């Protein structure tokens, strides 16, 4: 059937009108409920409404190479190790998860291909085979018939898990604050792309270890946005490799700073970004971690901080995980003992899985599969107590909560759609006093006593009133916009009917 020109015009006009109506409804609805069409002013208002403005200091600590199941697979209430699992080995048998009391591990290879082999189209059964293949390529021999292999040289330890016996402080942080059991690394690959994603919500196409590395990176990253808004930040880079077990501090004398904090490495990719590389003032914000202890002690923490480890304290195999835990505890204690504690949130996670077993299939976000699951902890005077958060997160969620707090526009679809981790907080509670744990190889006994939580009842009522007001205003704005669009549609339909 063919349409006469007049009818074709009318049909086209009606289709255009309907499309405009649908677009307006979508935009109005998104604006009303706070999706990415909101302006920076809307975001700042949302921070005030949710209570996020109580957080004046964000501290992000990213360690290295452990899966969620390898650290919290037996933690009560978490989505941990399933019963009866046994992962096949290349020798025809299988290896079941087991408690590994050795603090020195080997892990498995963890490049792009290894991750996809571990995941194995959702079967999650490639870990042991990949570990054996990786050790073979390294010339390390530890056969299946050996009852024990040297520490850090056993491919079977990818199926090992630790608990409060080896990492009591991490388990205490989960017990006292928030454990996230759906925290995923950014991409199924090695350190560099994952650390780039934690800064920029992308890796500039870098995904595999054998790809050429550019001399500089020119896509946006979060410190550029912070600087543009006049928001203070620092990037603390750990250079010293001797940890003082009296306080967990790692301090390097000035003459031994190698590499310098503003030198590129896989752990520290920020200096590769052109806006940092070419600006002495921005480069001056990259400092040694000894300054973190000073800033925390004196109440001079910036609004946003990152703390970058080195190989010794990073927990990257074969480094002793107890040393890494003592180092992280020293960072947390420094904040807790300083004047900024009442307005700080500390986020702890791992760049990628390190070849260790995890049973949860990574979800797909913005058309790309996330990396394997890693531990996530949130520590704050406003954090919920003993809470296991089951929302899906990635390091883009770290970016998202900073963007929401300071009214920054997202950089990519990844951070624009990321969950913001607000579920970890209860801003109606009074700020909790700190719980100082021992920054030693033994840590503090688990479990530490829970705190008595009190709530500011007046604040709770005020917060509820603000929430109701915000929702009412959004509903009113949406109704008004829909009425305007409907009127325009009626007028447009009248014009179409008048056409020949």
Do 280 and 29 contact (CB within 8 A), yes or no?
no
Report whether pLDDT(156) > 80: yes
The region, left, alpha or beta by phi > 0 then psi within -120 to 50, assigned to residue 122 is left
Mean pLDDT of all residues in 186-190: 98
- What φ, ψ does residue 347 adopt, rounded to 5°? -120, 130
Do 30 and 37 contact (CB within 8 A), yes or no?
yes
Query: Nearest Cα to 304, choosing from 52, 56, 35?
Result: 56
- 10 Å CB burial of residue 464 (0-12, 13-18, 19+) is exposed
Report whether pLDDT(43) > 60: no
289-316 pLDDT, tens digit per residue, is 999 999 999 999 999 999 999 999 999 9
Confidence at residue 280, expressed as pLDDT on a 0 to 100 scale: 95
Confidence at residue 483, expressed as pLDDT on a 0 to 100 scale: 74
Q: In whole angstroms, what is the distance from residue 409 CA to residue 2 CA?
A: 48
pTM: 0.83
Unique residue bearing structure tokens 């059991």: 181
Confidence at residue 29, expressed as pLDDT on a 0 to 100 scale: 38
Sign of CA pseudo-dihedral 488, 489, 492, 493? negative
């Amino acid at each position: 059937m063919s349409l006469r020109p007049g009818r074709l015009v009318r049909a086209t006009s009606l289709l255009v009108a309907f499309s405009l109506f649908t677009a307006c409804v979508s935009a109005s609805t998104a604006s009303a409920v706070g999706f990415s069409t909101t302006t920076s002013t809307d975001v700042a208002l949302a921070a005030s409404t949710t209570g996020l403005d109580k957080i004046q200091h964000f501290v992000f600590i990213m360690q290295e190479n452990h899966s969620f199941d390898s650290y919290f697979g037996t933690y009560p209430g978490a989505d941990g190790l399933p019963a009866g699992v046994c992962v096949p080995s290349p020798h025809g048998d299988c290896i079941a998860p087991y408690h590994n009391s050795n603090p020195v591990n080997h892990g498995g290879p963890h490049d792009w291909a290894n991750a996809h082999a571990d995941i194995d189209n959702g079967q999650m059964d490639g870990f042991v085979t990949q570990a054996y293949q990786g050790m073979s390529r390294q010339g390390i021999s530890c056969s299946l018939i050996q009852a024990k292999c040297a520490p850090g040289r056993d491919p079977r330890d990818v199926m090992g898990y630790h608990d409060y016996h080896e990492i009591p402080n991490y388990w205490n942080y989960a017990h006292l604050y928030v454990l996230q059991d759906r925290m995923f690394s950014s991409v199924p690959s090695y350190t560099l792309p994952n650390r780039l994603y934690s800064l920029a919500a992308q890796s500039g196409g870098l995904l595999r270890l054998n790809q050429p590395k550019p001399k500089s990176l020119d896509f946006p990253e979060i410190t550029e946005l912070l600087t543009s808004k006049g928001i203070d930040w620092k990037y603390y880079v750990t250079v010293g490799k001797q940890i003082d077990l009296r306080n967990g501090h790692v301090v390097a004398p000035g003459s031994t700073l190698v590499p310098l904090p503003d030198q590129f490495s896989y752990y520290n990719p920020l200096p590769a970004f052109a806006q940092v590389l070419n600006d002495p003032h921005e480069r001056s914000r990259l400092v040694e971690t000894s300054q973190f202890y000073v800033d925390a002690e004196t109440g001079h923490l910036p609004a946003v901080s990152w703390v970058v480890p080195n190989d010794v304290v990073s927990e990257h195999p074969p480094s002793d995980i107890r040393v890494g835990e003592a180092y992280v505890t020293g960072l947390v204690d420094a904040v807790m003992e300083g004047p900024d504690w009442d307005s700080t949130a500390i986020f702890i996670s791992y760049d990628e899985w390190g070849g260790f077993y995890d049973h949860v299939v990574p979800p797909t976000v913005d058309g790309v599969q996330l990396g394997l699951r890693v531990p996530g902890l949130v520590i704050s005077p406003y954090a919920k107590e003993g809470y296991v958060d089951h929302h899906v997160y990635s390091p883009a969620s770290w970016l998202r909560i900073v963007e929401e707090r300071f009214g920054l526009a997202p950089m990519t679809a990844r951070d624009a759609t990321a969950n913001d981790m607000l579920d970890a907080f209860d801003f109606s509670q009074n700020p909790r006093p700190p719980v100082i744990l021992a920054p030693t190889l033994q840590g503090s006994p688990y479990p530490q006593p829970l705190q008595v939580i009190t709530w500011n009842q007046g604040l709770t009522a005020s917060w509820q009133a603000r929430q109701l007001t915000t929702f009412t205003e959004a509903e009113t704005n949406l109704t008004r916009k829909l009425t305007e669009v409907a009127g325009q549609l009626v007028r447009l339909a009248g014009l179409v009917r008048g056409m020949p």
